[in-house]
Structure 1
Amino acid sequence: MATKIRKYVLRSHFSGFPQRDALEIVEEELPPIKDGEFLCEAQWISVDPYMRPYTSRLPLGITMIGTQVAKVVESKNDKYSPGDLVSSNFGWVTHTISDGVQQWGGKQGPVLKLDPAIHSSPSTALGVLGMPGATSYFGFLEICQPKKGETLVVNGGAGAVGSLVGQIAKLKGCRVVGFAGSDAKVKYMLDLGFDAAYNYKTVESLDAAIKESCPNGVDLFFDNVGGEFFEVTLSNMNEFGRVSVCGAISLYNATEKPKFRSVSEIILFKQLKVEGFIVARWLDQWPKAFKEISEWIKEGKVKYDEHVTEGFDNMFDAFAGLFTGDNTGKAIVKI
């Protein structure tokens, strides 16, 4: 029997702030599954800032990209049974036929079957125990190589990635200074155990705030924002500091790229390590990260928050809210 589905199709590339009419909800029918395939029904779908720059490089007519937690409803694949919960980058679609293989950043891996011992709450597979969790874990530990007593600055510190980076840094014995875009988010970062936190929208001087909170300079910088924040923080870094470049959300919607002074001399004379990354680099190691993070959660050493939007028809609103600071923690949509 054919299955009726709904999906968001990219009709035009975003220009500046994402436009609702760039996406269109369409309905179609899926054919019956074949041997080796299984049919999934979406339960939760993720919205993430990376979707904004990625879509500009993708062809029109595709299903909008994104990760989801889905329930297997029919299967002709021995590895997946009806009732199983899985996580995969199926996109913004209500139902998907899969053969158990998915692509991540040019790498191929299996569709992840959720382990109740780790994903006791299925929605965490889109956040703290999903791609954002792996991003925090590997992007910080592998690139920044933290040492006890060092000082970390993390922007987007109340988001899904930044909030976990700050908590991991505290577990490793670092001083943590976070920046976010509201007073409520400042309180949230302090509640997570950050040593200092600032609302970047209200500080008189970003440079002064970093100097005040980092009297011994900055050793580690986890950058989710880019732009002026990147430049100012680099100028406050210590010799041999390490910078993990995770995102540049301040630039994603810019129709004209702003001009900044060159940071080449800062990187050169301070002998900084500055490295960008795509988390699929460590795809085969993701289960290792999820196991350790889940233990930290059980032990009360790591906390997380989810910003939940209800309904498939509200996917775009949840996505647009990422760029106006609506979410604290991981933004997800309950289907």
Structure 2
Amino acid sequence: MARAWALKSRPNGMPQHTDFAMITLPDQPLAEGQVRIANRWLSVDPYMRGRMNDVKSYVPPFVLGEPMQGGAIGEVVESNADGFAVGDMVQHMLGWRDEAVLPATEVQKLPALDVPVQAFLGQLGMPGMTAYFGLTEVAAAKSGDTVFVSAAAGAVGSTVVQIAKARGMTVIGSAGGAEKCAWVKSLGADAVIDYKSGVPIAKALAEAAPKGIDVYFDNVGGEHLDAALSAARMHARFAICGMIDVYNSGAATELRYLARVIGNRIQIRGFIVSDFFDRRDAFVRDMGAMLASGTLKREETVIEGLNAMPDAFLGLFTGGNKGKMLVRV
């Protein structure tokens, strides 16, 4: 019998293991146009925390008691759809389970690139697209810019660091702890702030970028966003990707430097990766070439087994990952 994780109760603050429940999925014969997929790799991502709240957002909330969803890579084990054969490796959004049955129209075959299949959940998937388009399109970053990246040791942030360096930018990252800071530095960052050091982030950023920053790529919000406002140069551009700082607390940090938006004509733009899905093929070609040439380094934190799915998810909020957090089924 197939198994899946469901949300048992809506978290109040940081999710707990008791908020999740493993359920058994009923046998489901294939209808016309459907495929059955044995999931091999599952993704956990910070945006999933928002789906645990019963609020209106850009993506519907998880339904209590029903299987959760998320990015997944799997192998077709049964097909009743033209164009899909047993053995095809595919990508889809019915994660948090070991088997998925869904219409072939909701499944994408993996491009023929010489990379491990799980890369399509990381740098060649949603996190990579988020980094790529957030930096190059939303923030319009260009050679010579000074870029500040929060959560620079995460799946998105670490990719932003590398793309920015490959395109001739000065990069300042923020990460938690000496080990992660050293890793971000090894990716090419010119300076790395340890936000766990006790030094106020605004002070550390002022020292790392005494002439200010042109671009801020925000994965955190809170004190990081305020520090970026304090260091922003004239006509700085902020790409607001995520605010993991407030996903569990729901309380925003006071932005003491917000008024600088006016005088320095700072552009702050939020975005969702789905804004760029129609450009996925071009993204895969460009990023695939960067991976093949060694310009990009891949890093994954792999948790073994479907049973450990909540552990992997919760690890995103406690600094448990370096690079992309994945579950191998």
Is TM (by shorter chain) over 0.5? yes
The reply to whether residue 116 of structure 1 matches residue 108 of structure 2 is: no
Give the match for residue 45 of structure 1: 42
8 Å contact kept, 2:70–2:96: yes
Question: Partner residue of 1:199?
Answer: 194
2:229 is matched with 234
3-state DSSP of counterpart to 2:244 = coil
**Greater mean alpha carbon deviation, residues 49-58 or residues 243-252:** 49-58
The 1-side partners of 2:25 and 2:180 are apart by: 41
Bigger drift between 56-65 and 185-194 goes to: 56-65
Return 5+ residue gaps in structure 2 as ranges: 55-60
| Deviation >6 Å, runs of 4+ | none
Conserved in 2, the CA contact under 8 Å of 1:133 and 1:290? Answer: no
Other-structure match for 1:164: 159
Contact kept? 1:157, 1:163, Cα under 8 Å: yes
Measure how far apart 1:115 and its partner are. Answer: 2.0
**Offset from partner CA, 1:257-302 (integer Å, 9 cap, x none):** 1440455421111101101111001111122112211110111111
Q: Does 1:319 align with 2:313?
A: yes
- TM-score normalised by the chain length of structure 1: 0.93
Work out whether residues 36 and 77 of structure 2, in 8 Å CA contact, stay in contact via their aligned partners in 1. yes
Pairwise CA RMSD: 1.3
1:135 & 1:146 partners in 2: Cα distance?
A: 14
Identity between Structure 1 and Structure 2 (%): 36
Supply the distance in 1 between the matched residues of 2:286 and 2:108 (Cα, whole angstroms): 17
- Map 1:9-28; keep pairs closer than 5 Å: 9-28=6-25
Equivalenced residue count is 322
Stretch moving more, 53-62 or 14-23 = 53-62
TM-score (norm 2): 0.95
Structure 1 residue 74 displacement after superposition: 0.5
The aligned amino acid for 1:67 is: G
Q: For the residues of structure 2 that align with 1:171 and 1:12, how far apart are their CA atoms?
A: 44
Instruction: Structure 1: state its 5+ residue gaps.
Output: 103-110
Partner of 1:108: none
1:309 corresponds, among 303, 309, 315, to 303
Instruction: Report deviation, 1:205.
Output: 2.4
Q: Does structure 2 conserve the Cα–Cα contact (< 8 Å) formed by 1:223 and 1:246?
A: yes
